[in-house]
Structure 1
Amino acid sequence: MTLLPAYATRQLVAERLPLIFPEGTPNRTYCVRELAASTVFAALYIGAIEGSDRFLGPIHVYRMTHEQAAMAADEERFAYANAVMRKNGVVSGTRWYADNTREPIRDETLRDGLVAIGAVLRREDLATTSGRPRYALKKQFADLFDPHMEGEALEAAIAEFQAKHLSKSALARVTIMRAGAVANTSGVLATFPNGETRMLAPGPSSIITKAVVEVFAPRFLKSPVVLWLSESGNKVVLRDDAIANAIGLKIEADKNLPDLILADLHPAEPIILFVEVVATDGAMTERRRTAMRELTNAAGFDPRQVAFLTAYQDRQSPGFKKTVAQLAWGSFAWFASEPAQIIALHEGRSEDSVLTDLL
């Protein structure tokens, strides 16, 4: 019988998962939470690893007990793997989870998390209704939990796994999120479309603002300019009255202005874009959109010349999850971690609108 991998505690697994799946990893929550650590621990415990011909089922996770998890001998681990699969199999001790945890383990932690990211393989030769175990850790992933591997060796192994198993887009998101974490500890230097630079205050909002100015603006606007940029506390970082006046927009600092006002000067009739930056709160709501419409209406702008955007760091960020329900119809949402994509909240204009009108 194939030997089992070195015994690793659930605590060790829980400590390493966030290193393997850093901020920016798709469905990261499913891959790093306690249930994920319990699932990976159980797979290692019974030796459900690629090439071993042993497989994990959710039952191995939710039938685990605190007492059983502390038993590290191979014979005790093999006995557990077999015992839980027997009809009415009983394992002594205090259970980790109730039986109704089966679905979150199967659907979230495994299907949408570890399988989707390429850390776990799933047998496809079993019928959907089969109760037989079907999951195993990829060998390279399982090796990352060797308790004897630490320091630089562990870091190198994790980097190799990430390069091989995380997609290019996932790696890009991870890189952007890591860069943001570093910038969050010092001032954030932003370079404007005209080449001018300004040092923004440290913090997550400034990191997103920098991305809007340096990445979003040149990607989605043909001839971008920044008319207005403010930070928390109504501190005005940039205010370009010359261009604003030239296109007929009167910016009054005491008004309820957004974090950013951009303009695209390429069209014959300039496009004005109001931007709210969200690290934790403050999205482009319907109330905010209406207030800004009043500003452009007073300046004589056609509504088709005015757009509204909420900028976030990532789709999985707490700020997006908290404010997505507040976003105004007829506005856009953009994520610094996925700079080529944009969400349009289409505002239906007739009762007979159909999906093909949007394609």
Structure 2
Amino acid sequence: MAGIPAYVPWSLVAERLPLIFPEGTPNRNYCVREMAAKTVFCALYIGAVEGEDRYLGPVHVYRMTEEQAALANQTDRDAYAAAVVKKNGAVPGRRWYADNSREPLRDETLREGLVAVGAVLRREDLPTTSGMPRYALKAAFAALFDPVLSGMALEAAIATFQTTHLSRSARARVSLMLAGAAGSSAGVLVTFPNRETRNLSPGPSSIISKAVVEEFASRFLKQPAVLWLSESGNKVVASDDKLANIIGLKIEADKNLPDLIMVDLTPPDPLLVFIEVVATDGAITDRRQAAIYQLTDAAGFPRSQVAFLTAYQDRESAGFRKTVSGLAWGSFAWFVSEPDQIVILRDGAASRASLSDLI
């Protein structure tokens, strides 16, 4: 086959995958672990690359052996590609994986990992029950493992691939992670809806707070204003006591307040939005919701004028995975990496609705 990629050991693939898929990549572990490196190696080994009409199946990975992987000439590679898809088509040597590794290879490494981020193509013309190989590396992705590429040329090729092939949400997640990692001693500058600015301490919580004020508010509130913004340790960054008094909310710093309180001034009766920012912990739980309701009940606010939001960096973040099970019904969840979307945890206890009513 004229287009078969140059032979590279799987160890080279393993070195480059973390560079191609940096922190913030969705399901990054599925894309950079040893199983992923060996899967990409096998695709390169048999020439399963976009445009070459050859495809990879999990069988090519779990039947690979140490001895076969060391054979670099095209004849051996072509023979392996054809042999292992046959019934009982194992080759001699020390197997990489047992046959029962098919599911993690297919479901995690390929479907949830490399296919999801745009590095691998999947044939859609085969029935889902077909056992025929159906995966191929995108040509631009396969080119990143050219052993001739190195140094600045490799960095430039990786950057181009990330820009043009990673999914929009994947790029957003990566950018967010890089922004958090790049926080300097100067802090994180946030611009309020009234164009005032505040400097927050560097760190992931500040990155999320900035996004809530600048991105969430502009998308989901018609006339937003910040009533309260605090950082860890009860440090009050901003408190608009004048506006809070006008709408009848008494803010006391020693109370169990959330990280952010915003208000939408457009409705005839202002909507108060109580927001918890979660980098690692501290979501809007039932307990937090009840405590805040005590504050708003005492101020005379109907509960129809009160909303609760938990803001996260990303659906892949450790903070979301840790706290999602405790999120309060009747609250919302929002992710910086997907700013146009919002999760509604609808409390249907008061009035039942069919699924069609909710669409």
TM-score, scaled to structure 1: 0.91
Residues 176-205 of structure 1: CA deviation (Å, up to 9, x unaligned): 443333226751111222222222111111
| Equivalence for 2:252 | 252
- Residue aligned with 1:143, SS: helix
Match of 1:278? 278
Secondary structure at the aligned position of 1:356 is classed as helix
The worse-fitting range, judged by mean Cα deviation, of 215-224 and 178-187 is 178-187
Paired amino acid for 1:218: S
Unaligned runs of 5+ in 1: none
Once the 2 structures are TM-superposed, how far is the Cα of residue 337 of structure 1 from its aligned partner?
1.1
1:238-270: CA deviations, max 9, x gaps?
222222222221112222111111112222221
Map of 1:42 onto structure 2: 42
How far did residue 126 of structure 1 move?
Answer: 4.0
Task: Tell me the residue number matched to 1:347.
Answer: 347
User: Do 2:118 and 2:167's aligned partners in 1 also have CA atoms closer than 8 Å?
Assistant: no
**Offset of 1:276 from its aligned partner?**
0.5
Structure 1 194/127 Cα, relative in aligned 2: closer, same or farther at 3 Å? closer
User: What's the offset of the Cα at 1:143?
Assistant: 0.7
5 Å matches for 1:5-20? 5-20=5-20
What does 1:86-105 align with in structure 2 at a 5 Å threshold?
Answer: 86-105=86-105
With 182-191 and 250-259 compared, the bigger mean Cα shift is at 182-191
Deviates more, 1:173-182 or 1:341-350: 173-182
Of 131-140 and 266-275, more deviation after overlay is shown by 131-140
Name the SS of the counterpart of 2:272 in structure 1.
strand
1:305 aligns with 2:305: yes
CA distance 1:28–1:143, change in 2 (3 Å): same
Which amino acid letter does the alignment assign opposite residue 133 of structure 2?
Answer: P
Question: In structure 2, how many angstroms separate the alpha carbons of the residues matched to 1:124 and 1:273?
Answer: 44
Structure 2 SS opposite 1:334: strand
Secondary structure at 1:38 match in 2: helix
Between the two proteins, what is the percent identity of the paired residues? 70
CA contact (8 A) 1:189 1:199 kept: yes
Give the 3 Å change call, closer, same or farther, for CA 90–168 of structure 1 in structure 2.
closer
Question: Is the 8 Å Cα contact of residues 262 and 274 (structure 1) preserved in structure 2?
Answer: yes
Q: CA deviation at 1:215?
A: 1.4
Give the 3-state SS of the residue equivalent to 1:117 in structure 2: coil
Look up the equivalent residue of 1:298 and give its one-letter code: A
Report the 3-state secondary structure (helix = DSSP H, G, I; strand = E; otherwise coil) of the residue aligned with 2:273. Answer: strand
Q: Which amino acid aligns with 1:243?
A: L
Instruction: Give how far 1:145 is off.
Output: 0.8
Deviation at 1:56, TM superposition (A): 1.3
Q: Aligned residue for 1:328?
A: 328
SS of match in other structure, 2:105: helix
Residue 154 of structure 1 deviates from its aligned partner by 1.7
- On the 8 A contact 2:117/2:170 being kept in 1, the answer is no
Distance in 2 (alpha carbons) for counterparts of 1:3 and 1:168: 30
Quick one: structure 1 residues 22 and 184, their matched pair in 2 at CA, closer, same or farther if it must change by over 3 Å?
A: farther
What is the SS of the residue equivalent to 2:242? Answer: helix
Q: Distance in 1 between matches of 2:68 and 2:199?
A: 55
Quote the Cα distance in structure 2 between the aligned partners of 1:186 and 1:83: 60
Give the superposition deviation at 1:142.
0.7
* Deviation at residue 79 of structure 1 after TM alignment: 4.1
- What is the number of equivalent residue pairs in this alignment? 359
Query: What is the rounded CA distance, in whole Å, between the counterparts of 2:221 and 2:136 in structure 1?
Result: 47
Does structure 1 retain, via aligned residues, the 8 Å contact 2:10–2:37?
yes
Given that 1:24 and 1:337 are in contact with CA atoms closer than 8 Å, whether structure 2 keeps it comes out as no
Q: Does residue 59 in structure 1 map to residue 59 in structure 2?
A: yes
Aligned-partner Cα distance in 1 for 2:217–2:190: 12
Question: How far, CA to CA, are the matches of 1:256 and 1:74 in structure 2?
Answer: 68
- Structure 1 residue 206 and structure 2 residue 212: aligned? no
Residue type matched to 1:279 in 2?
A
Unaligned ranges ≥5, structure 2: none
- For 2:236 and 2:345, how far apart are their aligned partners in 1? 29
Q: Deviations over 1:192-236 (max 9, x none)?
A: 222222221111111101111111122222222212111112222
Pairwise CA distance, 1:328: 0.4
Q: Which amino acid aligns with 2:211?
A: A
- Correspondence list, 1:1-359, <5 A: 1-2=1-2, 4-183=4-183, 187-350=187-350, 352-359=352-359
Q: Are 2:169 and 2:337, in contact at CA under 8 Å, matched by a contact in 1?
A: no
Tell me if structure 2 keeps the 8 A contact 1:55–1:136: yes
Would the aligned equivalents of 2:3 and 2:52 in 1 still touch at CA under 8 Å?
no
2:3, 2:266 → 1: CA distance? 67
Cα RMSD, aligned residues only: 2.3
Aligned counterparts of 2:242 and 2:105: Cα–Cα separation in 1: 58
Higher deviation after alignment, 301-310 or 57-66: 57-66
State the shift of 1:3 in Å: 6.2
Q: Check whether the contact 1:226–1:263 (CA below 8 A) recurs between aligned residues.
A: yes
- Return the letter of the residue paired with 1:2: A
Change (3 A) 1:58 1:186: farther
TM-score (ref. length: structure 2):
0.91
Question: Could you tell me how far apart the structure 2 residues matched to 1:167 and 1:17 are?
Answer: 16
